[in-house]
């Protein structure tokens, strides 16, 4: 049975009340969404124009002009609308909703009679549409349109956008496929697969599931469609000259035969998410097995300790097993987000906490590192080691910025962060009719039917700084349901009580299943010990040999030059591994910092005239090291940073 057992609690049933996350959500609502709206409308001074809204106006013949921006520029509007939809669910805002409605009207106005909707081809000539599925992102835009439309429909109940998306989906369905007269193509940049399954969840229109399944099944079948398309339309494929070839697009062989994550990392995890969705809906065991293999390959061979993925800038791609360089890394924020999408689907199918362990790791480290603490600047690339001089002068590291940037020409990461953070509640809590899964430890109030009764669940916690989580149940009448508490992989010792008494529960797949008759006022207390843990990487990871990473709870820590001086490579952590933890209210919006004994390679005897000398044994001077949470790095100016510390 691959049918999903759980679904996210709807965002309008959750009120997040959590010091850590609410602030992020408010940053998105108050800064990111309005800022992006200005960007989409080319009203940001000194920034490259987006042309997004303008392209739609031109396509809708409301304005004269040419298409400008990237070929996938439309998708930025869709991602913005998706973030808006989530935000409206937990914080209604008439004016914002009106702006969204107007934007949706504009989008609809650009739609062609047969449902087609991609401003690049509408403006540049429809006769050319569907001639470069490999690189021209028409189906990527379709995917993001559907995801936004589904979200907006759920948020507002309005179906204008949904109908627009359905019309485009149906147009694609008419034109693509293996049937005679159709183009046997599929997306160059995946996302439509999972989007179509989500659409199917609402429409129950078999065409939508069929199209998703077709995209998955057809991908990489011989003869390779992208090869044929190139020949037919005289397109050229940049990646044919690389070792990746069509695996850059995960399209070098049928997806069921793929067992290593390869190619562009964001595309890859978006595809795998879609594969999981299709496998679930169609009960396709073989396809699900491929998902499991790909998952295993990522998390056991190709994932950074921060949950980041994508080892190289070249193709923003996966490379090979155990190749995890820290300073030439790509680790795109969007890729870590995509890994969370994949994790969530695998969890919903299996109810296995191991997937949420990875989702939590990526979320608290590789994703939120992507946004500055003031919500105004963003990392595309999330390195585990930075030397600012190298970022300026080493071509291999120029993509690794030592400070977050205001906006990007290719603005995929900021809106992706926005849509994730404004829907974070849905990742934290999943449910079925008789159980509620607490996947992430986020404070808030959830109202939902469980065991046939309306329950109000109140979660209080100071996570990730503290491992205590209190849950209280309020209901009108006692009812039986399962409250499933995730026992994270990082946690070795915990206590779990109900109403102050040791709880009886079944431990299954990383969850404590508290199944009982719940009375009004019942209280669950989870108390996870949260000592500092020090981890090492598999010795096959060349870059991490002789080094360790410091963690506490779900958080990966790092050293910054600001606290520890420059030349971080000279620093060694002492084997004693004794850490002094301190919550510093005024530092980085409040973080627990860690201090430990360490040492630094002695500069004694070295001067600037000596590059090499006879080795005379190891010489160090003592130094107290100060670690801060990785996600908060680069919020105090430019300096060196490293996660993996020598020991």
Element (DSSP H or E) covering residue 266: helix 265-282
Dig out the tokens for 232 from the structure: 């037919």
Task: Tell me the two tokens of residue 488.
Answer: 């994270």
DSSP 10: P
d(CA 424, CA 148): 16
Tell me the closest approach of the beta carbon of residue 579 to its own copies, in angstroms.
13
Judged by CB, which is closer to its own copies: 79, or 547?
Answer: 547
Which residues are at the interface with its own copies (CB under 8 A)?
A: 242-243, 296, 299-301, 303, 305, 311-315, 319-320, 323, 328, 387, 389-390, 392-396, 533-542, 545-546, 548-549, 567, 569-570, 575, 577, 601, 603, 606, 608-615, 617-618, 646-647
Q: Which of 230, 412, 431, 491 is catalytic?
A: 412
Q: Among residues 583 and 606, whose Cβ is nearest to its own copies?
A: 606
CB atoms within 10 A of CB 609: 5
Q: Confirm if 419 and 79 have CB atoms less than 8 A apart.
A: yes
**438: β partners:** 429, 485
Kindly state the tokens that stand for 612: 């090499």
For residue 327, CA distances in Å to 24, 44, 136, 390, 406 come to 27, 32, 31, 9, 22
With respect to its own copies, which residue has the nearer C-beta, 10 or 242?
242
CB of 306 to its own copies, least distance (A): 11
| Contact predicate 409/65, CB 8 Å | no
Beta partners for residue 483, in sequence order: 436, 514
Specify the residue, 44 or 577, whose C-beta has the smaller distance to its own copies.
Answer: 577
Least distance in angstroms from the C-beta of 51 to its own copies? 23
Contacts 24+ apart (CB under 8 A), 252-257: 252/220, 252/224, 253/220, 254/217, 254/219, 254/220, 254/221, 255/216, 255/217, 255/219, 255/220, 255/287, 255/290, 256/286, 256/287, 256/289, 256/290, 257/220, 257/290
Residue 41 CB burial class (10 angstroms; 0-12, 13-18, ≥19): middle
CB 396, min distance to its own copies, A? 5
We find the least distance from the C-beta atom of residue 614 to its own copies, in angstroms, to be 6
Q: Residue 386 and residue 391: Cα distance in Å, rounded?
A: 8
**To which H or E segment does residue 393 belong?**
helix 388-393
CB of 429 to its own copies, least distance (A): 27
Indicate the residue among 328 and 593 with the shorter CB distance to its own copies. 328
Name the β-bridge partners of 527.
468, 495
List, as own/partner pairs, every contact residues 179-182 make where C-beta atoms lie below 8 angstroms and the sequence separation is at least 24, other chains included.
none
What lies within 8 Å, CB to CB, of 454 at 6+ separation is: 447, 448, 475, 476
Residue with Cβ nearer its own copies (178 or 538): 538
By beta-carbon proximity to its own copies, the closer residue of 95 and 604 is 604
- Which strand (E) or helix (H) includes residue 599? strand 591-601
Minimum CB distance to its own copies, residue 325 (Å): 8
Give yes or no: 412 in active site: yes
d(CA 215, CA 274): 9
**Opening angle at CA 130, ends 190 and 122, nearest 5:** 105
Q: Which is nearer to its own copies, 52 or 324 (CB)?
A: 324
Residues in the chain: 647
Strand order from edge to edge, sheet including 435-438 = 7-8, 429-432, 435-438, 479-486, 511-518, 506-508
Q: Which residue is catalytic, options 316, 360, 560, 562?
A: 316
Closest CB to its own copies among residues 94, 395: 395
Q: How far apart are CA 204 and CA 200, in angstroms?
A: 5
For residue 428, the minimal CB distance to its own copies (Å) is 24
Minimum distance of its own copies from residue 93's CB (angstroms) = 42
Nearer to its own copies, 320 or 583 (CB): 320
**CA angle at 139 for the pair 138 and 145, rounded to the nearest 5°:** 95
Q: How far is the CB of 532 from its own copies (least distance, A)?
A: 11
Q: Which residues are catalytic?
A: 316, 412
């Amino acid at each position: 049975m691959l049918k999903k057992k759980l679904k996210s609690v709807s965002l309008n049933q959750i009120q997040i009340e959590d010091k850590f996350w609410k602030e992020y959500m408010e940053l998105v609502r108050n800064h990111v969404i309005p800022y992006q709206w200005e960007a989409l409308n080319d009203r940001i001074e000194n920034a490259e124009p987006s042309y997004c809204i303008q392209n739609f106006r031109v396509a809708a013949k409301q304005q004269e002009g040419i298409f400008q921006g990237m070929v996938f520029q439309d998708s930025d509007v869709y991602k913005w609308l998706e973030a808006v939809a989530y935000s409206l669910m937990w914080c209604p805002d008439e004016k914002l909703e009106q702006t969204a409605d107007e934007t949706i009207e504009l989008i609809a106005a650009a739609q062609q009679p047969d449902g087609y909707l991609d401003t690049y081809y509408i403006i540049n000539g429809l006769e050319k549409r569907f001639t470069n599925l490999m690189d021209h992102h028409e189906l990527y835009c379709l995917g993001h349109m559907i995801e936004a439309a589904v979200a907006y429909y759920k948020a507002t109940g309005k179906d204008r956008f949904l109908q627009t998306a359905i019309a485009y989906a149906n147009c694609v369905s008419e034109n693509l496929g293996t049937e005679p007269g159709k183009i046997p193509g599929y997306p160059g940049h995946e996302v439509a697969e999972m989007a179509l399954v989500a659409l199917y969840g609402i429409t129950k229109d078999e065409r939508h599931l069929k199209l998703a399944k077709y995209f998955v099944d057809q991908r990489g079948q011989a003869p390779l469609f992208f090869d044929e398309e190139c020949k037919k339309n005289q397109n050229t494929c940049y990646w044919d000259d690389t070792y990746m070839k069509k695996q850059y697009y995960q399209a070098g062989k049928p997806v069921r035969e793929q067992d290593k994550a390869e190619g562009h990392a964001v595309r890859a995890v978006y595809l795998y998410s879609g594969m999981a969705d299709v496998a679930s809906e169609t009960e396709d065991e073989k396809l699900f097995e491929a998902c499991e293999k790909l998952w295993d390959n990522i998390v056991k061979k190709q994932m950074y300790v921060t949950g980041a993925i994508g080892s190289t800038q070249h193709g923003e791609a996966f490379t090979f097993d155990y190749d995890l360089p820290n300073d030439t890394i790509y680790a795109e924020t969007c890729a870590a987000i995509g890994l969370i999408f994949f994790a969530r689907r695998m969890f919903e199918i299996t109810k296995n906490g191991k997937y949420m362990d990875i989702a939590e790791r990526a979320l608290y480290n590789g994703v939120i590192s992507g946004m500055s603490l003031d919500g105004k600047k963003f990392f595309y690339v999330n390195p585990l080691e930075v030397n600012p001089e190298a970022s300026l002068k080493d071509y291999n590291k120029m993509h690794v910025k030592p400070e977050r940037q205001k906006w990007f020409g290719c603005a995929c990461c900021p809106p992706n962060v926005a849509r994730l953070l404004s829907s974070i509640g849905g990742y934290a809590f999943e449910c079925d009719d008789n159980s509620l899964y607490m996947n992430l430890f986020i404070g808030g109030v959830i109202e939902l039917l469980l065991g046939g009764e309306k329950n109000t669940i109140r979660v209080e916690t100071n996570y990730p700084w503290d491992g205590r989580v209190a849950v209280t149940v309020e209901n009108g009448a006692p009812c039986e349901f399962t409250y499933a508490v995730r026992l994270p992989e990082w946690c070795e010792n915990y206590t779990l009580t109900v109403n102050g008494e040791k709880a009886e529960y079944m431990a299954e797949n990383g969850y404590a299943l508290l199944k009982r008759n719940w009375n009004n006022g019942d209280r669950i207390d989870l108390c996870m010990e949260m000592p500092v843990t020090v981890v090492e990487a598999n010795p096959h990871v060349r870059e991490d040999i002789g080094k360790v990473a410091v963690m506490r709870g779900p958080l990966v820590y790092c050293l910054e030059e600001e606290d520890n001086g420059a030349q971080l490579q000279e620093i060694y952590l002492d084997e004693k591994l004794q850490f002094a933890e301190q919550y510093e209210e005024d530092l980085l919006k409040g973080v627990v910092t860690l201090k430990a004994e360490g040492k630094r390679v002695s500069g004694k005897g070295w001067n600037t005239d000596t590059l090499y000398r006879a080795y005379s044994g190891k010489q160090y001077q003592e130094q107290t090291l100060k670690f801060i949470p990785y996600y908060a790095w680069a919020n105090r100016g430019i300096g060196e940073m490293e996660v993996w510390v020598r020991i």
